[in-house]
Amino acid sequence: MIETETAKSKNSKNVFFFAPGESDGNAGMKNILGGKGANLAEMTALGLPVPPGLTISTEVCTAYYENGGKIPDTVKPKVLEALSRVEKCVGKKFGDVKNPLLVSVRSGARASMPGMMDTILNLGLNDQTVAGLIAMTGNARFAWDSYRRFLQMYSDVVLNINSSLFDVTLEDMKSDKGVHLDTDLTAEDLQKLTQKYKEQIRFSTGRNFPEDPFDQLWGAVNAVFRSWNTARAITYREMHSIPAEWGTAVNVQAMVFGNQGFDCATGVAFTRNPSTGEKKFYGEFLLNAQGEDVVAGIRTPQPLMKIDGKDSMEEKMPEVYQQLTDVFKKLEGHYRDMQDIEFTVEKGRLWMLQTRNGKRTAAAALRIACDLVSEKVISKKEALLRLDPASLDQLLHPTLDPKAVKTLLAQGLPASPGGVCGEIVFNPEDAVEEKEKGKNVILVRIETSPEDIAGMIAAKGILTTRGGMTSHAAVVARGMGKCCVAGCGEVEIDYNEGVMRARGYNLKKGDIITLDGSTGEIFLGKVPTQEPKFDESFETVMGWADEVRRMKVRANAETPMDAQTARKYGAEGIGLCRTEHMFFGADRIDAVREMILSDTQKEREAALEKLLPMQRTDFLQLFQIMEGFPVTIRLLDPPLHEFLPQTDKDIAELAKRIGWNEGKLKQKIASLHEFNPMLGHRGCRLGITYPEIYRMQVRALAEAAAELAAKGKKILPEIMIPLIASEKELAILKKLTELEVLSVQKTLKVKFDYLIGTMIELPRAALTAEEIARSAEFFSFGTNDLTQTALGLSRDDSSRFLATYVQQGIFAKDPFVSIDQQGVGQLVKMGVERGRRCKPDLKIGVCGEHGGDPASIHFFDSAGLDYVSCSPYRVPIARLAAAQSTLGAG
């Protein structure tokens, strides 16, 4: 039976035993067992070979922090009791000098956080138990190797001693012995190494290494809980919106060894290709290696399946390979999703160490979703609900132009797709610094580690010379949707000299390279990129989304190019055409400025006359591209000074071009200065004070509409008035608009339908929506301004402190990105409800940035909006998110 979360939280049980046939937990208990613990328990129930162990619940992590960073006393006896059950299962004893049980101690949060938290292997070894391990295995070299690895890991994770100290000692030992590989060191060498490591520990901490296995155990459990709050874990949590309260579980599990010889191995696998989604097992393994070696990318692993020219597991260990593929099928069938699996082979015997739903690229997610639906494993509804709308962004990234002439610099592994170019940096600090200067950078590393996370976020792309497709760099980059080429062994990096060498080229910091994350190629210099093309599965999934979603999706677009992109991505019309963006064209900005600088209405009308034909063409193009779909045109909104030059040089040039005296021009510009322009002379206030501006815009769009209507084209113009605070404003401007349209229709003798509506972007508009609706045929929530005005938070100035607000949890998310449901959301709900009190069928949408944010989209759906409008590139995201809303997500 799957225990429910509520039942669990009342339950005081916080240590859970697992072993084949006798586990306390199951896959439904992720919240308290963490993903790893829950799935280990589930695998035992499936009859899979899992080394026995115990899971200390995530609730203990919370209690640990509440208890001032101490493991609560009540927990320890429970751990010891479960540990004795583990001892019984494996017939070994923890701390026993003859027959020692060794354990791994690993973190495991609810959401997987690859490589972000700490792991310790071989715990329980000391100068006595190592002798027991030698006696048990008859393999002294293996035993001493395990011991020295344990000392290093423990020192790093628990004692905070820099791991590189131990690396240097290891390298010194190898050079003394004249050998190149760790595997060339003898048992005696490794024994000496352990003594040197211990001296180092004494030197660094002033204390002896804890020989008592129980001290080691509590030290490790403490360290795993502490690792929940390291800087890198916090950064990762912030990026993936994982709440700090979730905490991590700790898994203590009997060790199995993949490093006892060449009948042993360790590996990582996916049941389908995580980059492309192809239905083929996909994985890597290392012979004679220990758990973390594959993940850490220290040695370059070999493929599981037969590939020409490589030593595959299929050939080297055919029986285990067969068993493993059976396990893959069983796990995928059970979880009904692609699995990411870790395993170890000990003396020819397979052990499963982890399974979880595998992280995948957006392209792979779509393909897997389509395949699972056609394999009848999941329904379309389930497929839609599983996809992460925001991840579709990855598909919208450019790829390299295949026709471009390129100079291949090196070939690595295609770890995460996309084509990017940028300047080389060799460390994460430089990546952050150069990014802040506005540069595109490629982070080039021998390998990445969790400490590099800030640099990886800052970089456009990541290149590593070591590590496979499941290395830290590959897994993290894929999760971020960031282009990554990993394991590019032919590139040599010298951090000291600050160069990377490949095929005779020496490249330094600042030199430009291009990565192709889909092929693993690296090119010299900048290679042009091109727009992405969508494959069949994208279209299929979008088709399913369109079949179910209730809300329409439109785009915010002004230019023909934007409008075409919007159509290509499936937009059902334009929800916001910001006409001011049309005023900045080189062919018209001076006419706009003349209009603004005019002293009299007559002068203003003369300037507007110049703008009219240009605006008419603009609208004509948009109507044509969007034929059959509504096009919402918003009349001029921003404060006029935004169109005027600022610098002395630009002012002088403008004065010359329009034949004005420079001093007079400066004075005029100064007179238009506003202290708080966002609350100043803008929006409908321009239309009220300078009606000729709005009249010109309405005329231009009416003439364009008439021209197309006369040709039998289906056009659906919606004229939108911005920044309305009172119904009177709207009533005046509605009248003006109707008269102008009527005059065009009369003159051109063409009739066409159109709507007049308003933006709801001021709190007063939301509050008085019932009255405003009398004059409005539609509403569109301008949630950018509504957020700005409801929170009294400047759109332009708040970025300086918003990050701190989010970090301190004052805002869960930036309110300009994801709608503040409690506050601004109430205004939206009120606006909808009050507007429809007046007109039950009032068409209502949203055109602020929130229209492309999945969480906000779920909210807008629940508030009863008819459509969302977002930037063209976010249209697919909005289509999927809207479908999920209809299906009950959010």
Q: Which residues are marked as active site?
A: 472, 847
CA distance 502 to 523: 10
Count of chain residues binding Mg ion (CB under 5 A): 3
In the chain, the largest separation of any two C-alpha atoms, in whole Å, equals 104
Site for ligand PEP in 42-61 (CB under 6 A): none
- Minimum Å gap between C-beta 580 and Mg ion is 11
CA distance 381 to 545: 9
479 versus 638: smaller Cβ distance to ligand PEP: 638
* 578, interface contact from ligand PEP, Mg ion, none, CB < 5-8 Å by kind: ligand PEP
Bridge-based pairing state of the strands 630-634 and 574-578: parallel
Using rule CB under 6 A, residue 791 touches ligand PEP: no
Site for ligand PEP in 557-596 (CB under 6 A): 576, 578
Q: How far apart are the first and last CA of the chain?
A: 27
Contacts of 738 (CB under 8 A, 6+ apart): 756
Buried b / exposed e over 773-792, threshold 16 CB at 10 Å, is: bebbbbbbbbbbbbbbbbee
Reading the block at residue 517, the tokens are: 């994350």
- Minimum Å gap between C-beta 839 and ligand PEP is 22
Using rule CB under 6 A, residue 681 touches ligand PEP: no
Query: Helices H, strands E: what count in the chain?
Result: 34, 33
Residue number of the CB atom closest to Mg ion: 785
Residue of the chain from 293, 337, 727, 785 that contacts Mg ion (CB under 5 A): 785
Phi/psi-derived region of residue 713, left when phi > 0, alpha when psi is between -120 and 50, beta in every other case: beta
Kindly write down the DSSP assignment for every residue of 474-494, as one continuous string. Answer: HHHHHHHT-EEEE--TT-EEE
Adjacent-strand bridge partners of 287 = 265
Q: Are 865 and 760 within 8 A, CB to CB?
A: no
- Minimum Å gap between C-beta 723 and Mg ion is 7
107 versus 821: smaller Cβ distance to ligand PEP: 821
* 476, interface contact from ligand PEP, Mg ion, none, CB < 5-8 Å by kind: none
- Minimum Å gap between C-beta 678 and ligand PEP is 9
Using rule CB under 6 A, residue 782 touches ligand PEP: yes
488 versus 636: smaller Cβ distance to ligand PEP: 636
- Minimum Å gap between C-beta 795 and Mg ion is 9
Contacts of 553 (CB under 8 A, 6+ apart): 570, 571, 572, 867, 868, 869, 870, 875, 878, 879, 882
* 342, interface contact from Mg ion, ligand PEP, none, CB < 5-8 Å by kind: none
Residue of the chain from 291, 418, 815, 848 that contacts ligand PEP (CB under 6 A): 848
Cα 33 to Cα 27, 111, 513: the distances in Å are 9, 11, 44
Buried b / exposed e over 745-763, threshold 16 CB at 10 Å, is: beebebebebebbbbbbbb
CA distance 204 to 161: 7
Using rule CB under 6 A, residue 783 touches ligand PEP: yes
Site for Mg ion in 746-765 (CB under 5 A): 761
* 624, interface contact from Mg ion, ligand PEP, none, CB < 5-8 Å by kind: none
Site for ligand PEP in 454-493 (CB under 6 A): none
CA distance 563 to 555: 8
User: One-letter amino acid identity for 731?
Assistant: A
147 versus 860: smaller Cβ distance to ligand PEP: 860
Buried b / exposed e over 320-331, threshold 16 CB at 10 Å, is: bbebbbebbebb
Site for ligand PEP in 619-638 (CB under 6 A): 637
- Minimum Å gap between C-beta 827 and ligand PEP is 12
Question: Environment class of residue 471 by beta-carbon count within 10 Å: exposed (0-12), middle (13-18) or buried (19+)?
Answer: buried
Using rule CB under 6 A, residue 861 touches ligand PEP: no
332 versus 761: smaller Cβ distance to ligand PEP: 761
Residue of the chain from 292, 718, 785, 866 that contacts ligand PEP (CB under 6 A): 785
**Beta-carbon neighbour count of residue 122 at 10 Å?**
26
* 847, interface contact from Mg ion, ligand PEP, none, CB < 5-8 Å by kind: ligand PEP
Eight-class DSSP state of 102 = -
Using rule CB under 6 A, residue 784 touches ligand PEP: yes
* 452, interface contact from Mg ion, ligand PEP, none, CB < 5-8 Å by kind: none
Site for ligand PEP in 756-775 (CB under 6 A): 761
* 381, interface contact from ligand PEP, Mg ion, none, CB < 5-8 Å by kind: none
123 versus 553: smaller Cβ distance to ligand PEP: 553
Using rule CB under 6 A, residue 847 touches ligand PEP: yes
87 versus 785: smaller Cβ distance to Mg ion: 785
CA distance 218 to 482: 38
87 versus 718: smaller Cβ distance to ligand PEP: 718
- Minimum Å gap between C-beta 761 and ligand PEP is 5
CA distance 604 to 594: 7
- Minimum Å gap between C-beta 595 and ligand PEP is 20
Residue of the chain from 52, 358, 479, 782 that contacts Mg ion (CB under 5 A): 782
3-state SS track over 815-848 = CCCCCCCCCHHHHHHHHHHHHHHHCCCCEEEECC
Stretch that binds ligand PEP, among 192-200, 778-786, 815-823, 824-832 (CB under 6 A): 778-786
- Minimum Å gap between C-beta 763 and Mg ion is 13
Strand, coil or helix: 420: strand
273 versus 789: smaller Cβ distance to ligand PEP: 789
529 versus 788: smaller Cβ distance to ligand PEP: 788
Q: Which residues contribute to the site for Mg ion (CB under 5 A)?
A: 761, 782, 785
Q: Which residues contribute to the site for ligand PEP (CB under 6 A)?
A: 576, 578, 637, 761, 782-785, 847-848
